Amino acid sequence: MEQTKESGFTFLEMVLVLAVLSIITAIILPIGDKWIQAESEDDALQAFIATVYNLQAYSMANYVATGLQFKDSGTEYITSYLVDGEVKVEVARNVFPNGMRLAGTSQLKAIEFRGNGDILKSGTMAFLTSSGIIEIRFQFQRGRMIIYE
Protein backbone atom coordinates (compact mmCIF):
# COMPACT_ATOMS: atom_id res chain seq x y z
CA MET A 1 0.00 0.00 0.00
CA GLU A 2 1.36 3.30 -1.12
CA GLN A 3 0.80 6.48 0.86
CA THR A 4 0.02 9.65 -1.01
CA LYS A 5 0.84 12.95 0.52
CA GLU A 6 -2.01 15.42 0.43
CA SER A 7 -1.36 19.10 0.89
CA GLY A 8 -3.87 21.81 1.73
CA PHE A 9 -5.27 23.90 4.54
CA THR A 10 -6.97 22.55 7.59
CA PHE A 11 -10.31 23.89 8.71
CA LEU A 12 -8.70 25.63 11.67
CA GLU A 13 -6.20 27.44 9.42
CA MET A 14 -9.00 28.66 7.14
CA VAL A 15 -11.03 29.94 10.11
CA LEU A 16 -7.97 31.75 11.47
CA VAL A 17 -7.25 33.45 8.11
CA LEU A 18 -10.92 34.49 7.73
CA ALA A 19 -10.93 35.92 11.27
CA VAL A 20 -7.81 38.00 10.57
CA LEU A 21 -9.30 39.27 7.29
CA SER A 22 -12.55 40.19 9.06
CA ILE A 23 -10.69 42.20 11.70
CA ILE A 24 -8.61 44.03 9.08
CA THR A 25 -11.77 44.82 7.06
CA ALA A 26 -13.55 46.13 10.16
CA ILE A 27 -10.63 48.49 10.81
CA ILE A 28 -10.19 49.70 7.22
CA LEU A 29 -13.84 50.33 6.23
CA PRO A 30 -14.50 53.34 8.51
CA ILE A 31 -11.20 54.91 7.48
CA GLY A 32 -12.03 54.35 3.82
CA ASP A 33 -15.51 55.89 4.20
CA LYS A 34 -14.04 59.05 5.74
CA TRP A 35 -11.47 59.28 2.96
CA ILE A 36 -14.11 58.81 0.25
CA GLN A 37 -16.35 61.48 1.87
CA ALA A 38 -13.44 63.95 2.10
CA GLU A 39 -12.44 63.32 -1.53
CA SER A 40 -16.00 63.72 -2.82
CA GLU A 41 -16.37 67.00 -0.87
CA ASP A 42 -13.06 68.23 -2.29
CA ASP A 43 -14.19 67.30 -5.81
CA ALA A 44 -17.50 69.13 -5.26
CA LEU A 45 -15.65 72.21 -4.03
CA GLN A 46 -13.35 72.18 -7.07
CA ALA A 47 -16.37 71.76 -9.38
CA PHE A 48 -18.06 74.69 -7.61
CA ILE A 49 -14.99 76.91 -8.12
CA ALA A 50 -14.73 75.91 -11.79
CA THR A 51 -18.41 76.71 -12.27
CA VAL A 52 -17.99 80.15 -10.71
CA TYR A 53 -15.19 80.85 -13.19
CA ASN A 54 -17.33 79.54 -16.07
CA LEU A 55 -20.28 81.63 -14.96
CA GLN A 56 -18.12 84.72 -14.85
CA ALA A 57 -16.70 83.94 -18.29
CA TYR A 58 -20.24 83.48 -19.62
CA SER A 59 -21.13 86.94 -18.27
CA MET A 60 -18.17 88.54 -20.02
CA ALA A 61 -18.60 86.67 -23.30
CA ASN A 62 -22.34 87.35 -23.64
CA TYR A 63 -22.51 90.59 -21.64
CA VAL A 64 -25.38 89.32 -19.47
CA ALA A 65 -25.79 89.26 -15.73
CA THR A 66 -25.47 85.81 -14.19
CA GLY A 67 -26.03 84.42 -10.75
CA LEU A 68 -25.55 81.34 -8.66
CA GLN A 69 -27.93 80.22 -5.95
CA PHE A 70 -28.40 77.26 -3.61
CA LYS A 71 -31.51 75.16 -3.08
CA ASP A 72 -32.18 72.65 -0.32
CA SER A 73 -34.69 70.07 -1.54
CA GLY A 74 -34.68 68.28 1.81
CA THR A 75 -33.00 65.18 0.46
CA GLU A 76 -30.15 66.84 -1.45
CA TYR A 77 -28.39 70.18 -1.50
CA ILE A 78 -28.34 71.63 -5.00
CA THR A 79 -26.31 74.45 -6.49
CA SER A 80 -28.17 76.01 -9.36
CA TYR A 81 -26.43 78.32 -11.80
CA LEU A 82 -28.71 80.81 -13.50
CA VAL A 83 -28.30 83.20 -16.38
CA ASP A 84 -30.32 86.31 -15.67
CA GLY A 85 -31.94 88.43 -18.27
CA GLU A 86 -35.55 88.80 -19.27
CA VAL A 87 -36.07 85.16 -18.36
CA LYS A 88 -33.99 83.21 -15.85
CA VAL A 89 -32.51 80.18 -17.55
CA GLU A 90 -30.77 77.42 -15.62
CA VAL A 91 -27.52 76.62 -17.37
CA ALA A 92 -26.07 74.11 -14.92
CA ARG A 93 -26.93 72.16 -11.79
CA ASN A 94 -24.70 70.42 -9.30
CA VAL A 95 -25.52 68.33 -6.23
CA PHE A 96 -23.23 68.49 -3.21
CA PRO A 97 -22.35 65.23 -1.43
CA ASN A 98 -24.36 64.33 1.68
CA GLY A 99 -23.24 66.41 4.64
CA MET A 100 -21.84 69.28 2.56
CA ARG A 101 -23.83 72.50 2.34
CA LEU A 102 -23.69 76.26 2.51
CA ALA A 103 -23.28 77.29 6.16
CA GLY A 104 -26.14 79.21 7.72
CA THR A 105 -23.60 81.76 8.95
CA SER A 106 -22.22 82.33 5.45
CA GLN A 107 -21.90 86.02 4.62
CA LEU A 108 -22.76 85.38 0.96
CA LYS A 109 -25.84 83.32 0.10
CA ALA A 110 -25.56 83.80 -3.68
CA ILE A 111 -23.02 85.01 -6.23
CA GLU A 112 -23.94 87.44 -8.97
CA PHE A 113 -21.90 88.84 -11.83
CA ARG A 114 -22.54 91.93 -13.92
CA GLY A 115 -22.46 91.71 -17.70
CA ASN A 116 -18.81 92.79 -17.72
CA GLY A 117 -17.82 89.92 -15.38
CA ASP A 118 -17.40 91.97 -12.22
CA ILE A 119 -18.80 90.41 -9.07
CA LEU A 120 -21.77 92.35 -7.72
CA LYS A 121 -21.08 91.81 -4.01
CA SER A 122 -17.83 90.65 -2.47
CA GLY A 123 -17.64 88.64 0.72
CA THR A 124 -17.08 85.20 2.20
CA MET A 125 -19.01 82.06 1.39
CA ALA A 126 -18.69 79.32 4.02
CA PHE A 127 -19.38 75.63 3.41
CA LEU A 128 -19.93 72.99 6.08
CA THR A 129 -18.12 69.74 5.34
CA SER A 130 -17.38 66.59 7.30
CA SER A 131 -13.87 67.91 8.00
CA GLY A 132 -14.97 71.38 9.13
CA ILE A 133 -15.77 74.74 7.58
CA ILE A 134 -14.21 75.83 4.30
CA GLU A 135 -14.40 79.51 3.42
CA ILE A 136 -14.09 81.04 -0.03
CA ARG A 137 -13.55 84.78 -0.20
CA PHE A 138 -14.76 86.52 -3.31
CA GLN A 139 -13.11 89.84 -4.05
CA PHE A 140 -14.12 92.62 -6.44
CA GLN A 141 -11.36 91.84 -8.91
CA ARG A 142 -12.20 89.53 -11.78
CA GLY A 143 -11.50 85.85 -11.23
CA ARG A 144 -10.20 86.30 -7.72
CA MET A 145 -11.14 83.68 -5.10
CA ILE A 146 -9.21 82.84 -1.96
CA ILE A 147 -9.90 79.52 -0.18
CA TYR A 148 -9.39 79.11 3.58
CA GLU A 149 -9.74 75.77 5.34
pLDDT tens-digit series, residues 93-118: 777 888 888 888 888 888 888 888 88
Confirm whether 54 is domain-assigned: yes
Total structural domains in the chain? 1
Q: Which residues of the chain have pLDDT under 50?
A: none
pTM: 0.72
Confirm whether 7 is domain-assigned: no
Q: Beta strand 89-95 with 77-83: parallel, antiparallel or unpaired?
A: antiparallel
> With helix as H, strand as E and coil as C, how does the chain read?
CCCCCCCCCCHHHHHHHHHHHHHHHHHHHHHHHHHHHHHHHHHHHHHHHHHHHHHHHHHHHHCCCEEEEEEECCCCEEEEEEECCCCCEEEEEEECCCCCEECCCCCCCCEEECCCCCECCCEEEEEEECCEEEEEEECCCCCCEEEEC
pLDDT of residue 15: 92
Confirm whether 47 is domain-assigned: yes
Confirm whether 112 is domain-assigned: yes
Q: What does residue 81 show for φ and ψ, rounded to 5 degrees?
A: -105, 120
Confirm whether 137 is domain-assigned: yes
Confirm whether 126 is domain-assigned: yes
Range of the domain at 47: 14-148
pLDDT of residue 2: 65
Confirm whether 1 is domain-assigned: no
Confirm whether 82 is domain-assigned: yes
CATH number at residue 27: 3.55.40.10
